[in-house]
Amino acid sequence: MSNRDSIPTSKLAMFWSLTKPSQSGLLLSTGLAGYMSARCPVFNISTILQLSLSLFLAIAGSTIMNMWWDRDIDSKMGRTQKRVTSKGLLTDKEVLIAGILISVIGIGWALAMDWLYGLVVFAGWFFDVVIYSMWLKRRTCWSIVWGGISGAMPILAGRVLGLGSIDWIGLMLALGILLWIPTHTLTFSMKFEKDYADAGVPTFPSTYGLAVTRFTIAFSSVLAAAAMVIAGIGIGMDWGFLRLLGVLSAGLLILAAAMTFNPTERVNFGLFKYASIYMLAAMILVVVEVI
């Protein structure tokens, strides 16, 4: 595993780092879980492979486009200063072309597979690149809602591909992700508050203060856990897996409560990490349930 702070040396590694493999991988895993939640013939290797590639390319394409658009503010923030776009290791033109090319291939492939699936994938890309990054990110801290909607699209897209339509379970799964994202991004914006202030990006902590941000995180965690459990019931998840999901949700709630009533840097970091483990575990449960 490469060091997150190390700077890639080969051109290929530079382009690969633009895709944020861990983040894209986590989003892809939600897409696969959404597909499998439809209880369709999940072992159709061709469909699984095409879903994985088209979704990964669309997610990676939007990530690259974001990096291209945000290259000026990324270079002002300590956390992102080492990105290849911030350091000028790739030219703006190279990054833009890569972003457009990968996005077009990903979304085009998705549309060719199924028009509704392709439309949801495109919506995710559009909300992320145009609405979130280009329009709202530098204007309002509420931009994260649109970033969240975008992050919720892969799981909906996966389910749409498996089912052929949009149903309430798909929307509930997407709502679970949408409400989980503040747990992740707001704890991040608290940790790197100065970075965002230096770059002039409005965040919840800088706009409403830490207490409101902590309450928002706790509240959205409660709703995210509830949405995931409701979606689990809707999928027809086994009672044992539901119990496990309930236990994991309880952990999320306990940390969210601790962050509200006894906030420390350690609890903040713990919630940030636990939220990722929680979502990954929830996706694995959906997949294992079907298998």
Partner 1 sequence: MKSSSHRTFLLLTSLLAGYQVSVGIEGFTILPITAYTISFGVILIAALLIYILGIEVLDSPIVVIVSTIIPLSLAVGLVWQHLASVRTSFLILAIIGFLAVSLTRSFPMPNKLPIIAIALTHGIAGLTIFLLPIVLSVQGAAKPLFSLVGIGGALIGIVGLLLSSQSIGKTFVPRDKVMNLFPALLFFTTALFVAGFAFR
Question: If we measure between CA atoms, which residue out of 229, 216, 227 comes closest to residue 256?
Answer: 216
Among positions 222, 251, 260, 263, the unique one binding partner 1 when judged by CB under 8 A: 251
State yes or no: residue 236 binds partner 1 (CB under 8 A).
no
Select 215 or 241, whichever has its Cβ closest to partner 1.
Answer: 241
As measured in angstroms, the least distance from the Cβ of 117 to partner 1 is: 31
Among positions 244, 257, 280, 287, the unique one binding partner 1 when judged by CB under 8 A: 244
Site size for partner 1 (CB under 8 A): 19
Select 39 or 273, whichever has its Cβ closest to partner 1.
Answer: 273
As measured in angstroms, the least distance from the Cβ of 281 to partner 1 is: 8
State yes or no: residue 273 binds partner 1 (CB under 8 A).
yes
* Cα gap 127→198, rounded to integer Å: 25
Among positions 48, 89, 241, 287, the unique one binding partner 1 when judged by CB under 8 A: 241
Among positions 62, 67, 274, 290, the unique one binding partner 1 when judged by CB under 8 A: 274
3-state secondary structure of 159: helix
Among positions 78, 200, 236, 240, the unique one binding partner 1 when judged by CB under 8 A: 240
Question: If we measure between CA atoms, which residue out of 223, 204, 224, 215 comes closest to residue 258?
Answer: 215
* Cα gap 154→54, rounded to integer Å: 11
Among positions 120, 129, 218, 248, the unique one binding partner 1 when judged by CB under 8 A: 248
State yes or no: residue 235 binds partner 1 (CB under 8 A).
no
Select 25 or 240, whichever has its Cβ closest to partner 1.
Answer: 240
State yes or no: residue 8 binds partner 1 (CB under 8 A).
no
Give the interface with partner 1 as residue ranges (CB under 8 A): 238, 240-241, 243-244, 246-248, 250-251, 254-255, 266, 269-270, 273-274, 277, 281
